[in-house]
Homo-oligomer: A and B are copies of this chain.
Amino acid sequence: MTSQAADEPETVVASRRSKLTPEREQEFFDAVLDQIRHCGYESVTMEGIAASTRCSKSTLYRQWKTKPQFVAAALRASRRVRFAGIDTGSLTEDLRQAARAAGDWSGKDTRLLQSLGHALTDDRELAEALREALVHPEIAALQEMLERGVARGEVPAGHPALEYVPAMMFGVLRVRPVLCGQYADADYLAGFVEAVVLPALGLTRNPAE
């Protein structure tokens, strides 16, 4: 559980247990996530990561016990909420900006999600790390956005479409590659928000036209 990078109480400021700097560690993480995106989880090898980062397999295994634990650590370290800062004061505009933001990283994260596909059901810890790193934070940010809109009275509380907004946003993002072989971009998502999400929430000025 608390395997690495935990700030232990007896460590002095200028001394590290591992000689790997945090930046170096991040290089490993970036490398493994990149390779997963390109070749899939199963095709990624510890040897390949070591080679591409010019470290040695021993170094990797000294820090992390196994491959899934290593990948899980990489996922946790890459945790970032993509549209956390969006708060324009209008739900409509928030959703539009969220679509733009999502379109920008959809290529990277959707691919990661896709490539980890089966590993989700395979390794418990990995699945949890993935959800914690990529899924929950975004869902939570989106839900806060919606709640603010409800609080401002833009959408009635308990509106039936509310609970489906996260699912459809991420759903559309995620199936696009399967449907037409290309990742959803910002324009596509923006169009989706205009044509579906806003109308479903009753947020359009001219509902018919």
Contacts and interface: CB of A to CB of B under 8 A. Distances in A.
Interface of A: 39-43, 113-122, 131, 135, 139, 160-161, 163-164, 166-168, 170-179, 181, 191-192, 194-196, 199-200, 202, 207-208
A87 to B, nearest CB: 23
A175 B167 contact: yes
B167 A120 contact: no
19 contacts: A39-B122, A40-B117, A42-B42, A114-B117, A114-B120, A114-B121, A115-B118, A116-B117, A120-B177, A160-B194, A161-B195, A167-B171, A167-B176, A168-B171, A170-B171, A170-B178, A171-B174, A174-B174, A196-B196
Nearest to A170: B175
B174 A196 contact: no
Contact of A160 (B43, B116, B166, B195): B195
Contact of A114 (B118, B173, B196): B118
Contacts of A179: 135, 139, 166-167, 170
Given A192-B164, A196-B200, A118 B120 contact: no
Contacts of A172: 164, 167-168, 171
Contacts of A194: 160
Contacts of A40: 117-119, 121-122
Contacts of A131: 178, 181
Given A172-B168, A174-B171, A161 B196 contact: yes
